[in-house]
């Protein structure tokens, strides 16, 4: 089975991606690879940050690997939190603080349209390939649900009236930004397998 290092410290992402790839690949997290590193994400685009993460790990290991950078873009906030989604309420902020700040900043904003975006950077034999996925929806008025991670308690995907955190992994795995990006990566990997 082909082994791929997933250049991420987010275990929720790893769980979702393993489920999406249906165990077709042996996905090794940084922790499992014994790599303790907090890779900087200094860039202004998801693609550049994703590239940074995978290339740092490729330089360190010389092995096939991939990373992903994701973010939530809210129309009424001119695309914020966007590339800063993980650190919206500050460098050490957690999801509860980020969600609280998002709701606070949207108090007087009626346009609640938002889009989740994922960019995957895959490095195979030293060559990089990028894959993108998006998922449109709306920001709820209050958080609800316990599933998922990050902004899932606030994000209601189009076609549904509950948040990803209530809908759960089955629905999220069928329609999410990550699912769309992983499907593209999977299709590409099949062509070179």
Q: Per CB under 6 A, does 52 bind ligand ITT?
A: no
What's the CA gap between 89 and 87, in Å, rounded? 6
- Smallest gap from Cβ 146 to ligand ITT, in A, equals 13
Query: Residues 9, 93, 105, 186: which binds ligand ITT (CB under 6 A)?
Result: 9
CB atoms within 10 A of CB 140: 21
Among residue numbers 76 through 135, which ones bind ligand ITT (CB under 6 A)? 85-86, 95, 98, 116
Q: Per CB under 6 A, does 41 bind ligand ITT?
A: yes
- Beta-bridge partner residues of 135: 116
| CA 88 distance to own-chain centroid | 15
- Beta-bridge partner residues of 70: 118
Query: Residues 4, 8, 17, 66: which binds ligand ITT (CB under 6 A)?
Result: 8
121: which 2 tokens? 């950077």
Query: Residues 20, 65, 71, 157: which binds ligand ITT (CB under 6 A)?
Result: 71
Among residue numbers 136 through 175, which ones bind ligand ITT (CB under 6 A)? 148-152
Catalytic residue among 38, 69, 161, 183: 69
Question: For 172, what's the count of Cα atoms within 13 Å in the CB-facing half-sphere?
Answer: 24
Q: Per CB under 6 A, does 13 bind ligand ITT?
A: yes
Q: Per CB under 6 A, does 66 bind ligand ITT?
A: no
Give one DSSP letter per residue of 24-61, joined into a string: SSEEEETTTTT--------SSSHHHHHHHHHHHHHHHH
Q: How many of the chain's residues bind ligand ITT (CB under 6 A)?
A: 21
Catalytic site positions = 69
């Amino acid at each position: 089975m082909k082994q791929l290092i997933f250049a991420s410290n987010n275990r929720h992402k790893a769980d979702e991606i393993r489920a999406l790839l249906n165990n077709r690949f042996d996905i090794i997290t940084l922790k499992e690879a014994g790599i303790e590193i907090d890779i900087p994400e200094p860039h202004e685009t998801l693609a550049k940050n994703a590239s940074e993460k995978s290339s740092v790990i490729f330089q360190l290991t010389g092995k096939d690997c991939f990373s992903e950078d994701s973010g939530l873009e809210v129309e009424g906030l001119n695309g914020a939190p966007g590339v800063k989604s993980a650190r919206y309420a500050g460098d050490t902020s957690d999801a509860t603080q980020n969600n609280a700040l998002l709701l606070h900043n949207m108090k007087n904003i009626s346009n609640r349209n938002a889009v989740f975006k994922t960019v995957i950077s895959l490095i195979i034999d030293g060559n990089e390939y990028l894959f993108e996925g998006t998922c449109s929806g709306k920001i709820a008025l209050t958080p609800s649900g316990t599933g998922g991670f990050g902004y899932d308690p606030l994000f209601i995907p189009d076609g549904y009236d509950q948040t990803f955190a209530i809908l759960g992994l089955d629905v999220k795995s069928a329609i999410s930004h990550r699912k769309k990006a992983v499907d593209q990566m999977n299709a590409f990997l099949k062509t070179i397998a």
